[in-house]
Chains A and B, each alone.
Chain A
Amino acid sequence: MSFLEDIRPVLAQRFGSENLSDQERARCGYDLRLALDQERLLELAGLLKEAVCYLEYITAVDQGQVLDLLYFFGRHDQPPFRLQVRVAMPKGVAVPSLANLIRAADWQEREVYDMFGQRFAGHPDLRRILLPDDADFHPLLRDFKPGPQHGGEVVNLERK
């Protein structure tokens, strides 16, 4: 029995089957998507850590009023397994940090903070990681417009 078949009912039971959706791996590259409330993030991460999953990466997508935080969990296993956890956060609200539970989250959360300004409550060292410490902007937010103060204007195409 594959890990996916094992974990699917557990996730559906604990986090609600209405929040869990099957994805077509051949198309989008992951098996499951779980929409999660931020309060239960640590509980989920603990569960996945116990199930010897690893945190592949954390990223975010700016949706205007909210920031969709995306956590990808994978497994060193055959057949492959990949879970996308989606936590919708109103901008400016801190989300619990996973850094004390999963060490890989330390830098990954710092990157999300750096690029999107998302704060992580309980992170041991939430500093910028790629941009200079004195930067006053978060460049992957949609309302960010690069200008001369960021090292020159960006010449680009307009969105269709």
Chain B
Amino acid sequence: MLRKTLTEDSFYLNLGPQHPSTHGVLHLLLKLDGERILECKPLVGYSHRAHEHMGQNRTYLQFLPNTSRMDYLGGLCYNHAYCLAVEKACGIQAPERARYIRTICAELNRISSHLLWFGAYLMDLGAFTPFLYAFDDREDILAILGEITGSRLTYSYCRFGGVSRDLNQNFRDGVKAFIPKLRKRLKDYRTLVTKNVIFLNRTKGIGVVSPEQARDWALTGPNLRACGVAYDIRRAEPYSVYPEMEFEIPTATGGDCYDRYWVRMAEMEQSLRIVEQALGRLPDGPVKTAGVPQWLEPPAGDYHFSYESPRGHLGIYFVSDGGRVPLRMKWRTPSFNNLSILSEILPGTLVADTIAILGSIDVVIPEIDR
């Protein structure tokens, strides 16, 4: 694990690829002087599964189940994004009811992703209790989503032109009970964690990213909003029913670990608001457009679509020659760029802070590796 260099008084430490704090198979090559980091090289690609290559060798529908396997914590969001991208290219419009259902599910998925991050992050910092609470909350969401999607993590719920099946009463009851429960829990988390002195000492002023750095490294999502840039695709390039929803974009100004934590916690409250509004206004009607062919053939041309995933700007780019299989399928996954900034912000910090900084960025490795 340790490799001593002969010429200098420093040594290399391999953090990962199998280390519980790296949240998957991430490998950080750290050059250390004692406890202080001189250099950091993130090495990725351990879970590369050639999703883009698969996308170019399958029809649009056949590729649909792949989408939730890229980011296994935001699978429904990826489903949603892919369906919206292809629908836009083919000129398909999902029925109103389906658009609401998708939004509700995507926001629940965002909350579950943030909850898992919250629990795991606090565990990285040495607090065990929040983890148990967060997983209890998250389990509720997985049960609610499982009710209509039939899956726990790797959803294939959205379809081109709608969703696979309608909501049922269990789902409604589940969500209605969950919203007040999580609101109460978020209050508990504030008293348990947000004002906790140990937590503050571990995160305030640690891993500071300036707005200029964030732009230079193409950071997006909560990591960018923690630097004070109110950029959210749901507002900047609204899709689905977001234009009709009232919600705020939480931002902080410090750009440190604490602010990234704070932004995600505030986002959960906003997501609850969206779920509540969408469920209250859910229109009647079909959940699937009739007559969408199994083999979609988008007109020749190239298409870009942006989506706000729980981790930031998800971009889908594909080129069609008018056939059933895309010529090129590119996924701009947010964690890819979010992680790359580590080589800039880690040098100068201590090894113990590495875990706090890495955790605060909220990366999902399979999404980087694709």
A: which residues have CB within 8 A of B? 27-30, 52, 54-57, 59, 61-62, 70, 72, 74, 76-78, 80, 82, 84, 102-104, 106-108, 111, 115, 128-132, 139-140, 146, 154, 156-157, 159-160
Closest Cβ of chain B to A24, distance in Å, is 10
Which B residues touch A74, using CB under 8 A? 313
Residues in chain B near residue A132, CB distance under 8 A: 45
Whether A104 pairs with B217 at a CB distance below 8 angstroms is yes
Q: What separation, in Å, do the CA atoms of A61 and B306 have in the docked complex?
A: 19
Q: Choose the segment among B22-30, B51-59, B67-75, B110-118 that binds chain A (4+ C-beta atoms closer than 8 Å).
A: B51-59
Provide the residues of chain B in CB contact with A129, threshold 8 Å: 44-45
**Contact yes or no, A102 B325, CB < 8 A:** no
**B42-67: contact bitstring with A at CB < 8 Å (1 yes, 0 no)?**
00110010101100111100100000
Contact across chains for A156 and B44 when beta carbons are under 8 A apart: no
Q: B330 — which chain A residues lie within 8 A by C-beta? A: 57, 59
Closest A residue to B48 by beta carbon equals A130
The answer to whether A160 touches B304, judged by C-beta atoms less than 8 angstroms apart, is no
Main secondary structure, interface of A, reads: loop
- Interface membership of B336, Cβ < 8 A: yes
Q: Of A57, A76, A84, A160, which is within 8 A of B332 by CB?
A: A57
- Chain B's interface: helix, strand, loop or mixed, by majority? mixed
Interface pair A54/B215, CB less than 8 Å apart: yes
Bound-state Cα–Cα, A29 to B315, Å: 10
Known pairs A55-B218, A129-B45, A140-B328; list 16 more (Cβ under 8 Å).
Answer: A28-B301, A29-B303, A52-B215, A54-B215, A59-B317, A59-B328, A61-B302, A61-B319, A62-B328, A72-B315, A76-B231, A77-B236, A107-B340, A129-B44, A157-B62, A157-B325
Q: Indicate whether B150 reaches chain A with its CB closer than 8 angstroms.
A: no
CB–CB A157/B59 < 8 A: yes
Contact, CB under 8 Å: B216 / A102: yes
Question: When chains A and B are docked, how far (Å) is the Cα of A141 from the Cα of B56?
Answer: 11
- Cβ of B245 to closest chain A Cβ, rounded Å: 17
Contacting pair A61 B327 (CB below 8 A): yes
* Distance of B49 from chain A, by nearest CB (Å): 10
